Amino acid sequence: REKDGTFKECLVQRYLMNPHLINGYKYDMRIYVVVTCFDPLRVYVFEDGLVRFATEKYSTADATLKKRTMHLTNYSVNQKLNAGAFNMEEEEDGKGSKWSLKALRSYFAENGLDFEPVWEQVHDIVVK
């Protein structure tokens, strides 16, 4: 909110109270896409991407709703509090609060989860 009472541009979206968690943490997937033509539509989806985690375990308790590092997954919010939680080494992929999409696929497979419906939904969202 600005000093004059008006609001800056913002994004408003429904908050999911029961998100899929990994080891108790919220996460998002950053998928890279290139559109080379709109008519006909030609879209390329990069097979890998980033998985970013919140750095505090998720809770819906009222007292935690303002904890940005619990409810937000973006790097700039979480790096300040948890600078050591970000992996830069390939052998550490699948640990900490930043994974490759390949590590997420492995996690799903190791835990008996099917990643294909998730990936199909990503493709559906991209072309909408």
Task: Decide if 54 is inside a domain.
Answer: yes
Question: For the whole model, what pTM was predicted?
Answer: 0.76
Overall number of domains in the chain: 1
Mind listing the pLDDT tens digit for each residue in 46-62? 998 999 888 889 998 88
Write out the residue range of the structural domain in which residue 38 sits.
27-127
Q: Could you give phi then psi for residue 71, rounded to 5 degrees? A: -105, -15
> Is residue 44 included in any domain, yes or no?
yes
| Position 19 in a domain | no
Tell me if 52 is assigned to some domain: yes
pLDDT of residue 83: 53
Give the mean model confidence (pLDDT) for residues 58-74: 85
Single-letter residue type at 43: V
> Is the residue at 110 inside a domain?
yes
